[in-house]
């Protein structure tokens, strides 16, 4: 698989933004070491496809577009009625094998990791930062760990996933590569007002 090149390479500058001292209210980092696989099926055969995936990934397949299932370093999102995203580490051998294997006629499997930029937003003000543009309530009571939402920020389509650990505000934002720089400009501009830190890409 070709080496992934960051869409943010020209604008990504680790360091403090906004307040130069004190604790960072938001911590931003790009997650480069991720892969993302899309699995699409057909209505009549999708339940059977899910059963096969459950056996392969050793976990349940989510039944709705509200909660992801995270297991063994992977997160599975039901992004449409018969469409799944499986996110995992870039060196996830199972996912890499899965993409290269012929899926048969019941599924279309596509590696789409290079078409998405993943930005992690963490810190005490992470929710405040995202809600400056995201029309989804991110309060823990209605958006707990593994909740996700496909929505729009600054007219840019995003998928926002609340990751662990429990009790902390950590969100992974999946942005289409074409809009990654625009999203990053919006994110860092709003983060400046709150005071934050940009960490080295993971």
Which tokens hold the place of 163? 């990751």
Minimum Å gap between C-beta 152 and other proteins is: 4
Contact 113, 37 (CB under 8 A): yes
Cβ proximity to other proteins, 32 vs 175, nearer residue = 175
Minimum Å gap between C-beta 98 and other proteins is: 23
Minimum Å gap between C-beta 110 and other proteins is: 15
Cβ proximity to other proteins, 110 vs 150, nearer residue = 150
Residue 155 has a CB neighbour count (10 Å cut-off) of 10
DSSP 117-161: EEEEEESTTHHHHHHTT--S---TTTS-TTBEEEEEETTEEEEEE
Minimum Å gap between C-beta 172 and other proteins is: 17
Length of the chain in terms of residues written: 202
Sheet holding 34-41, edge to edge: 69-71, 74-80, 83-89, 34-41, 107-111
Binding site for other proteins (CB under 8 A): 64-66, 78-81, 83, 135-136, 149-152, 157
Cβ proximity to other proteins, 62 vs 195, nearer residue = 62
Cβ proximity to other proteins, 12 vs 179, nearer residue = 179
């Amino acid at each position: 698989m070709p080496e992934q090149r960051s869409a943010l390479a020209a604008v990504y500058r680790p360091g403090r933004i906004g307040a130069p001292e004190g604790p960072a209210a938001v911590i931003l980092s790009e997650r480069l070491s991720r892969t993302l696989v899309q699995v699409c099926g057909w209505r009549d055969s999708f339940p059977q496809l899910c059963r096969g995936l459950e056996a392969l990934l050793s976990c349940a397949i989510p039944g709705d577009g509200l909660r992801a299932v995270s297991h063994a370093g992977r997160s599975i999102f039901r992004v449409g009625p018969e469409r799944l995203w499986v996110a995992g580490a870039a060196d996830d051998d199972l996912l890499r094998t899965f993409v290269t294997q012929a899926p048969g006629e019941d599924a279309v499997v596509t590696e789409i990791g290079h078409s998405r930029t993943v930005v992690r937003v963490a810190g005490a003000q992470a929710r405040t930062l995202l809600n400056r543009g995201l029309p989804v309530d991110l309060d823990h009571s209605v958006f707990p760990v593994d909740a996700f939402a496909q929505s729009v920020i600054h007219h840019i389509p995003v998928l926002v996933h609340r990751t662990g650990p429990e009790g902390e505000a950590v969100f992974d934002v999946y942005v289409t590569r074409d809009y990654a720089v625009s999203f990053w400009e919006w994110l860092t501009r709003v983060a400046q007002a709150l005071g934050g830190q940009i960490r080295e890409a993971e």
